[in-house]
Amino acid sequence: MSTLAVHDHHDGVEHHDHDHGHHHKETFISKYIFSMDHKMIAKQFLITGIIMAVIAMILSILFRIQLAYPDKAFPFLETILGRFAPGGRLDANFYLSLVTIHGTIMVFFVLTAGLSGTFSNLLIPFQLGARDMASPFMNMLSYWMFFTASVIMLASFFVQKGPAGGGWTIYPPLSALPKAMPGSAEGMTLWLISMVLFVASQLMGGINYVSTVLNMRTKGMDLWKMPLTIWAFFLTAILGILAFPVLVAGVVLLVFDRSFGTSFYLSEIVVQGQVMNYEGGSPILFQHLFWFLGHPEVYIVIMPAMGIASEVMSVNSRKPIFGYHAMVYSLIGITVLSFIVWGHHMFVTGMNPFLGGVFMITTLIIAVPSAVKTFNWLATLWRGNIRFTPGMLFAIGLVSFFISGGITGIFLGNAALDINLHDTYFVVAHFHLVMGSAAIFGMLAGVYHWFPKMFGRMMDEKLGYLHFWLTFIGAYLVFFPMHFMGLDGVPRRYYAFTEIESLKQWLSVNTFITWAAIMSALAQVAFLFNFFYSIFFGKKATQNPWNSTTLEWTTPVERIHGNWPGEIPTVYRWPYDYSKPGAEEDFIPQTTPYSQTMTSNLPHDFEDNPTGLTQYNEWLKTQKVQEEVK
Amino acid sequence: MMAQIQQEKDRLNLAPKKFNMWIFLFTSFMFFMALTSGFIVYVGGSKTHELTIKLPQIFMYSTGAIILSSLTMFLASREAKHLQFAKQRLFLWLTIFLGIAFFVLQVFAWKALIDMHQHLVNPNASISFVYVISGAHLLHILAGLLLIINTLVKSYKNTPQVLNLYNMEMSSIFWHFIDIIWIYLYVFLLLNQR
Ligand code: HEM
Ligand SMILES: [Cu+2]
């Protein structure tokens, strides 16, 4: 046995060296394009995500122009959009396509893939002390599938009838009948292909994240020593793994209806005076399948942002996160509960009122863990030694948006109120604050905070502040007025309100919102410039610019293959030892053993370590003796 | 010594990959749960939505074939562990054969449905569900067969025993899983026959 092993080992070493030789001779393609390094893949996700976000933002400005000036012609629109804006007026069907693709890109491509893809890939190996992901190859595949999905989604702008137009929730019958409207034709087919690829990409990513968190933590890194970022990414990945296959099932049935003529979702229906050949299907079935994914999906979007905010706020308040365990348990609570609330999107589908009541109760219960998290963030800020870095400001911005958007969720969760508010601008306001703005702010907080880790340089702070304030104020100016529109019954996804007497008065508000949106969009130029300029010309970063305790800051600034030049460091303590009384500095890295921090240790630190506790007590005794001598 | 073995393990890094397979099974499980829940919601919608046909007898035989194939797969794993490579290959061949038989029988079952004038395109979508559910499962069978063929081909080449066992394990985890899933789907459909 022993000889066999020795022999094996020799082989192993030789192979290893050989492998290494290969890695160092990286070509441009293997380093920047088909890279299997988690750091490079994270950057690929980030930059693709940013590009998609800019595109989706431009789409939103286009349809905002229509809402603000429904009667005006803008010749430049015809110049850039051609047949989609004849005579400088946006085509009504194209308006629907814009709304649909804006939503799809923002929810899936930016806030799901861009956010999880970037930060799970970057931070899971870094903060857990792993050399890479469990399966780097799958990881690479995951990015390239995402990339292909993005290209196909954008390609739908170039088909004759334009992109999908049924809304990001692609309800049948619009999505199931290619002839129903222009946005149901080839554009919808491309949407479906793109999303299937997208789901495959997310599943591969998610499987990797879960497997890495469970199998590849460094010595000493037990689950309760993981930073909240990792907890959030881990639970997000589990949500995705359980929810996305359900969307695929729903889409498979949809494809059968679309292409083979089955009647899963379609019942007797007349399109353009022609009786279609469908009988007995149930469009509500699709809504069940969609929202069983859809609701967890909104938490897939917000949970990584929450994790990032927790980390950034703790570091920059120079305080341990308040209620670490409560934070983890509320993440777990959200994960579990998010699977039993989907019905709140369907209160008006003629659902049995009793069932509606059940969904109402589960929905209101999910507000509890959300509120626990909010209070813990506020308590973390309370009397902190706050450093207002741009990352910190964006994290605080997340908390603000999460509160203002979460409160309206409670309104909507009550079936009696929702029957009035459903499909109005009130819902638009709710989810753009709680999901859109909050998650984007979490993502931006992460970008500002971990930029030095990704690129070895710092972003400019002044531009960061400008970006923050314009975006923060802009987002409130855009979305807050929408609440009042919704309360007055202004429906969402309408092309123009000019024909409806009672809604005409909202035109001035729409104009105001559009200008606020244009301002916030311009503010992003500050970010884009800052981001790309700093990659090449930013101030050089030090190894641990924020005086952080977590493992990623123990790696060299140069970001080498395998992350740590020597052995992977061992972890001795939780990640939030900031401003610990008695310590020399206001942070103690996770890699510092308790034996080196005698003056700051507390009995509590040795809860599951009896030998440590005895040593600590002995040390205390010697201290007392010394004091008596003095 | 231990440290060296540890390093060796790190290099091969098989445990997390096996773990990946288990997680993949969860995604696949959720997919079929979604289809069957969809079925329940659909059938619950109206009396006319019930599965009013008798499922073709052939499904019985295909179920037999796939259960047998699980047995031969198990035997192949056992022989691989006992270093009986010739027998391992034999049982793998048998599994592949039974898998293909399952595939063919499922297609015959569809043909039997068509002969009963129960087409995929049907005003009663619960019958369309039978096609879609068994079809989605067949795609998994295809993937499973590819995995087994991969194991078999590699076992003819000079693959180290660690990797051989690993291939064996990956393909049998997946194969047993899709076997169990089929039994679940079949029993589910049987229980919903009216
Ligand atoms: C505080 C807990 C929350 C409650 C009680 C709640 C409740 C609701 C309800 C009842 C609706 C349906 C409104 C309608 O269509 O009539 C809704 C819509 C929505 N919520 Fe929430 N929500 C909460 C938090 C969140 C969070 C944290 C997110 C995302 C991060 C989110 C994202 C969304 C989205 C995207 C929609 C609209 C989907 C659409 O129709 O396009 N919500 N929410
Ligand atoms: Cu929801």
Closest-lying ligand 1 atom to the alpha carbon of residue A167: 41
Ligand 1 lined by A99 (C-beta under 6 Å): no
Q: What's the CATH code of the domain at B177?
A: 1.20.120.80
**Residue B1 resides in a domain:** no
Is the CB of A302 within 6 Å of ligand 1?
A: yes
Chain B positions in Cβ-Cβ contact with residue A125 (cut-off 8 Å)? none
Work out the minimum CA distance from A281 to partner chain B, whole angstroms.
7
| A430 CA to centre of ligand 1 in angstroms | 7
Domain extent, residue B62, equals 55-191
Task: Say whether A263 and B128 touch across the interface (CB within 8 A).
Answer: yes
- Confidence at residue A2, expressed as pLDDT on a 0 to 100 scale: 34
Containing H/E element for B43? helix B14-45
Give B181 Cα–ligand 2 centroid separation in angstroms.
30
Does B49 contact A280 at a Cβ distance shorter than 8 Å? yes
Name which of A243, A417, A385, A213 is nearest A314 in CA terms. A385
Residue A299's CB is within 10 A of a number of other CB atoms, namely 25
A208 touches chain B (CB under 8 A): yes
**CA–CA dist A35, A54 (Å, integer):** 25
Q: Which of A138-147, A350-359, B155-164 has the lowest mean pLDDT?
A: B155-164
C-alpha neighbours within 13 Å on the C-beta side of residue A366: 27
CA angle (A73 as vertex; A72, A77 as ends), nearest 5: 130
Closest CA–CA distance from residue A207 to any residue of chain B (Å): 6
Please give the average per-residue pLDDT across A470-499, as a whole number.
95
Residues with CB under 5 A from ligand 2 (ion): A 295
| Cα nearest neighbour of B19 on chain A | A211
Q: Does A285 touch chain B (CB under 8 A)?
A: yes
Q: Is 60 exceeded by the pLDDT of residue A167? A: yes
- Of all ligands present, the nearest one to the C-alpha of A300 is 1
- Alpha carbon dihedral A46, A47, A52, A53, in 10-degree steps, equals 70
Query: In this predicted structure, what is the pLDDT of residue A25?
Result: 59
Residue B7 lies in a domain: no
pTM: 0.91
Interchain contact B117–A (C-beta under 8 A):
no
The whole-angstrom distance between residue A512's C-alpha and the CA centroid of its chain comes to 29
CB of A452 within 6 A of ligand 1: the answer is no
Highest mean pLDDT among A173-182, A349-358, A386-395, A590-599: A386-395
pLDDT of A92 higher than 60: yes
Give residue-wise pLDDT tens across range A300-338.
Answer: 999 999 999 999 999 999 999 999 999 999 999 999 999
Choose among A153, A143, A185, A147: nearest CA to A56. Answer: A153
SS3 breakdown of chain B: % helix, strand, coil, rounded to 5?
85, 0, 15
Residue nearest to atom 21 of ligand 1 (CA): A409
Q: Which residues pair with A587 in a beta bridge?
A: A578
Closest ligand 1 atom number to CA of residue A371: 1
Mean pLDDT of A537-562: 92
State the Cα–Cα distance between residues A520 and A45, nearest whole angstrom.
23
ipTM for the assembly: 0.91
pLDDT tens-place string over residues A259-294: 998 999 998 888 888 888 888 888 999 999 999 989
Does a structural domain hold residue B47?
no
Residue B79: is its pLDDT beyond 90?
Answer: yes
Q: Is the CB of A467 under 6 A from ligand 1?
A: no
Look at the block and give the residue holding tokens 């990704």.
A454
Nearest CA in chain A to B21: A207
State the amino acid at position A539 in one-letter form: K
In the block, which residue shows the tokens 């052995």?
A567
B67 in reach of chain A (CB within 8 A): no
pLDDT above 90: percentage of residues in chain A: 76
Please check the confidence at residue B173 and state whether its pLDDT lies above 80: yes
Closest CA to A98 of A168, A174, A32: A168
Q: Mean pLDDT over all residues of chain A? A: 91
Segment A362-380 mean pLDDT: 95
A113 Cβ contact list (under 8 Å, min separation 6)? A45, A48, A49, A146, A198, A201, A202, A205
**Token digits of residue B170:** 């990956």
Q: Does A282 touch chain B (CB under 8 A)?
A: yes
- Tell me whether residues B125 and A216 touch, CB distance under 8 A: no
Residues of B in contact with A241 (CB under 8 A): 23, 26-27, 30
| Residues of B with Cβ-Cβ distance to A292 under 8 angstroms | 34
Q: What integer pLDDT is reported at residue A517 of this predicted model?
A: 97
Rounded to a whole number of angstroms, the distance from the CA of B140 to the nearest CA of chain A is 14
Tokens representing A475 are 């987002």
Residue B12 lies in a domain: no
Q: Which atom number of ligand 1 is nearest to the Cα of residue A344?
A: 10
Between A583 and B186, whose confidence is greater? B186
Q: Do A203 and B27 touch (CB under 8 A)?
A: yes
The shortest CB-CB distance from A9 to any of B8, B128, B136 is to B8
Number of A:B CB contacts under 8 A? 122
Residue A118 CA to residue A305 CA, distance in Å, equals 11
What average pLDDT does range B11-35 have in this prediction? 87
Is the CATH code 1.20.210.10 the one for domain A32-537? yes
- Cα separation, A266 vs A228, whole angstroms: 45
Instruction: Give the count of domains, chain B.
Output: 1
Nearest-Å Rg of the Cα atoms of chain A is: 26
What's the pLDDT tens digit per position in B104-142? 999 999 999 999 989 998 888 999 999 999 999 999 999
- B29 in any annotated domain: no
CB–CB of A362/A340 below 8 Å? yes
Domains of chain A, residue spans: 32-537, 574-629
- Asked whether A373 lines ligand 1 (CB < 6 A), one says no
The band of A4, judged by pLDDT with boundaries at 50, 70 and 90, is: very low
**Which of A125, A152, A157 is closest to A42 using CA atoms?**
A125
Confidence class for position B12, pLDDT limits 50, 70, 90: low
Q: Tell me phi and psi for residue A540, to 5 degrees.
A: -60, 135
Instruction: Give me the residue from A210, A249, A262 closest to B23, CB to CB.
Output: A210
Q: In this prediction, what percent of chain A has a pLDDT beyond 70?
A: 96
Distance between CA A283 and CA A273 in Å, rounded?
Answer: 21
Is the dihedral angle over the CA atoms A264, A265, A268, A270 positive or is it negative?
negative
Rounded to whole angstroms, the Cα distance separating A46 from A41 reads 9
Contacts of A355 in chain B (CB under 8 A): none
| pLDDT tier, A5 (very low <50, low <70, confident <90, very high otherwise) | very low
Contact check, Cβ <8 Å, B4/A250: no
Residue among B7, B38, B129 minimizing CB distance to A289: B38
CB distance from B23 to chain A under 8 Å? yes
Q: How far is B28 from chain A (nearest CA, A)?
A: 7
Residue A529, number of CB atoms within 10 A of its CB: 13
Give pLDDT, residue A127: 96
Domain presence at residue B39 = no
Q: How far is CA A479 from CA A55, A99, A512, in A?
A: 20, 16, 11
